[in-house]
């Protein structure tokens, strides 16, 4: 009898795992459950959708038919409410249940705004899901002024898409500077400068206290200091919490997320977790209360979880990325503990370029434990690997200066990343990959040729 793989969640991690299991095992029975109404879409590009830069078709590149072709049984609008590890069953909101042989929990996170009055007013919006983004489009139709409450990846995405719609955007930040939990002072300053140059009005030291309403509609925000400002649409950003309701009472070990080992196994051998919901029990990840929120990490873990579920303990691709995004076209990457301050044990190596480029390397006791790169995206994937491997300083320096090259001439001397030319998923091609070989986009299954011109690498559609 074929193995039944059950995957809860159809985001970056769940979708990638389903495809990878199918590729490795043609006989497997694979069931994917999602509480959303759409098949897999590029969640991180919802900002482009809101701005009107991408259409529904560009966002959803895996139609229901494509799932059928690959014999992936997709169940949409199906919420899992409970897991019973002893019976090997997941239980749905309808009360029905299904048995699994191996289970992957890839349920992601949700926004966890401070519980201030007014959150249920019309005009309080979100872009966590495609359905929420479509609803936000409706609110924005007649709006002129918009508020973004809090910093974070979604706040940055929103600032860019809303200003490009010609809206007047006010963003509150909780302290004196932007996102201090994640960014060092210099990077906060660079991000703030880019936001302000592009017309975003930043309100510093501003803790929202009330969303002001008139009747059932939101009309503005009052902060803890008593200041008010008008806004017809209000997005709550900031904190994220892992979607863990379904594991309550299951006996699985949880912390800020569902605890997993390096092979992404939970405390029960047939249950795995991947993506933003997963918390690596033994890792260098900062133990703040926020769940991770990183597409690249989720995508990589989907592949790793698939290998572990197939019983082929994975060749884990090292992954230390915490944030990879853009701020009005400026690349921002935070890797490992990139914002650690200088101390007796911690050395910081900074490089400032013009205009608006910055790189910060953080060495603790001589090994690389973090990096922040703003502006260029230069060496980001190399740094991700070096941080994950805790590379010593001399190795980091020789790698970044381009001296560390593989022996054979036809092997890629540098890791690079590119969006898939077919489906736009982010692909990473690693140092040492044979030039001219084919790599397969795990999102859309297209084979792509690895090219290198002596200075940079890229991926090409064969015979194109």
Ligand X SMILES: Cc1cc2nc3c(=O)[nH]c(=O)nc-3n(C[C@H](O)[C@H](O)[C@H](O)COP(=O)(O)OP(=O)(O)OC[C@H]3O[C@@H](n4cnc5c(N)ncnc54)[C@H](O)[C@@H]3O)c2cc1C
Helix/strand/coil for 345: coil
Dihedral (Cα; 287, 299, 338, 184), 10-degree rounding: -90
Distance between CA atoms of 104 and 83, rounded to whole angstroms? Answer: 11
Residues near ligand X (CB under 6 A) are: 8-14, 33-36, 43-44, 46-47, 79-80, 106-108, 127-128, 153-154, 157, 243, 246, 275-277, 293-296, 298, 324-325
Least distance (Å) between residue 13 CB and ligand X: 4
| Cβ(125)–Cβ(234) below 8 Å | yes
For the chain, give percent helix, strand, coil, nearest 5.
Answer: 25, 30, 45
Least distance (Å) between residue 322 CB and ligand X: 9
Per-residue tokens: 19: 């495809």
Q: How many CB atoms lie within 10 A of CB 436?
A: 10
- Name the residue nearer to ligand X (CB basis): 50 or 362: 50
Least distance (Å) between residue 293 CB and ligand X: 5
Least distance (Å) between residue 292 CB and ligand X: 7
- Name the residue nearer to ligand X (CB basis): 38 or 209: 38
End-to-end CA distance of the chain: 42
Least distance (Å) between residue 332 CB and ligand X: 9
Q: How many CB atoms lie within 10 A of CB 1?
A: 6
Strand pairing report for 208-214 and 217-223: antiparallel
Distance between CA atoms of 170 and 220, rounded to whole angstroms? Answer: 11
DSSP-derived secondary structure for 218-275: EEEEEETTS-EEE-SEEEE-S-EEE--GGGTTS---BSSSEEE-TT-B-SSTTEEE-G
Least distance (Å) between residue 297 CB and ligand X: 7
Least distance (Å) between residue 449 CB and ligand X: 26
Least distance (Å) between residue 296 CB and ligand X: 6
Sign of the torsion angle spanned by Cα atoms 215, 216, 221, 226: positive
- Is residue 121 classed exposed, middle or buried when 0-12, 13-18 and 19+ CB atoms within 10 A define those classes? middle
- Name the residue nearer to ligand X (CB basis): 125 or 396: 125
Least distance (Å) between residue 244 CB and ligand X: 9
Strand pairing report for 102-105 and 271-273: parallel
Q: Which residues pair with 147 in a beta bridge?
A: 170, 234
Query: Rounded to 5 degrees, what angle do the CA atoms 407, 410, 416 make?
Result: 95
């Amino acid at each position: 009898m074929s193995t039944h793989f059950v995957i809860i969640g159809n985001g970056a991690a769940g979708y990638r795992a389903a495809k990878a299991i199918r590729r490795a095992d043609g006989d497997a029975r694979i069931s994917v459950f999602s509480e959303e109404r759409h098949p897999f879409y590029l969640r991180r590009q919802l900002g482009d959708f809101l701005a009107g830069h991408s259409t529904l078709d560009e966002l959803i590149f895996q139609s229901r038919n494509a799932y059928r072709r690959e014999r992936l049984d997709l169940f949409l609008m199906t919420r899992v409410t409970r897991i019973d590890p002893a019976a090997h069953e997941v239980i749905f909101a309808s009360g029905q249940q299904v048995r699994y042989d191996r289970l992957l929990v890839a349920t992601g996170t949700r926004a966890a705004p401070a519980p201030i009055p007014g959150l249920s007013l019309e005009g309080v919006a979100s872009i966590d899901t495609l359905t929420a983004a479509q609803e936000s489009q409706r609110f924005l139709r007649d709006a002129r002024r918009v508020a973004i409450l809090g910093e974070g990846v979604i706040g940055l995405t929103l600032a860019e898409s809303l200003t490009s719609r010609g809206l007047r955007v006010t963003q509150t930040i909780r302290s004196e500077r932007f996102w201090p939990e994640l960014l060092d002072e210099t990077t906060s300053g660079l991000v703030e400068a880019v936001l302000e140059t592009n017309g975003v009005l930043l309100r510093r030291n501003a803790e929202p206290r009330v969303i002001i309403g008139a009747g059932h509609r939101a009309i503005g925000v009052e902060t803890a200091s008593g200041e008010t400002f008008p806004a017809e649409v209000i997005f709550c950003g900031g904190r994220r919490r892992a979607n863990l309701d379904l594991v309550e009472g299951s006996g699985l070990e949880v912390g800020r997320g569902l605890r997993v080992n390096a092979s992404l196994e939970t405390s029960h051998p047939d249950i795995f977790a991947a993506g933003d919901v997963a918390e690596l029990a033994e890792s260098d990840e900062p133990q703040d209360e926020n769940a991770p929120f990183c597409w690249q990490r989720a995508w990589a873990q989907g592949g790793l979880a698939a290998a572990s579920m197939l019983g082929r303990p994975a060749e884990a691709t090292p992954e230390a990325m915490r944030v990879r995004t853009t701020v009005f076209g400026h690349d921002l990457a935070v890797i490992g503990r990139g914002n650690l301050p200088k101390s007796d044990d911690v050395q910081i190596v900074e490089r400032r370029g013009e205009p608006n480029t910055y790189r910060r390397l953080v060495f603790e006791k001589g090994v690389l434990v973090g990096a922040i790169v703003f502006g260029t995206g230069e060496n980001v994937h190399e740094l991700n690997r070096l941080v994950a491997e805790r590379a010593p300083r001399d190795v980091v320096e020789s790698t970044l200066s381009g001296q560390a090259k593989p022996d054979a001439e036809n092997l890629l001397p540098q890791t690079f990343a590119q969006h898939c030319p077919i489906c736009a998923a982010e692909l990473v091609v690693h140092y040492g990959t044979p030039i001219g070989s084919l790599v397969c986009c795990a999102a859309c299954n297209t084979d792509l040729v690895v090219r290198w011109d002596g200075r940079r690498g890229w991926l090409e559609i064969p015979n194109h």
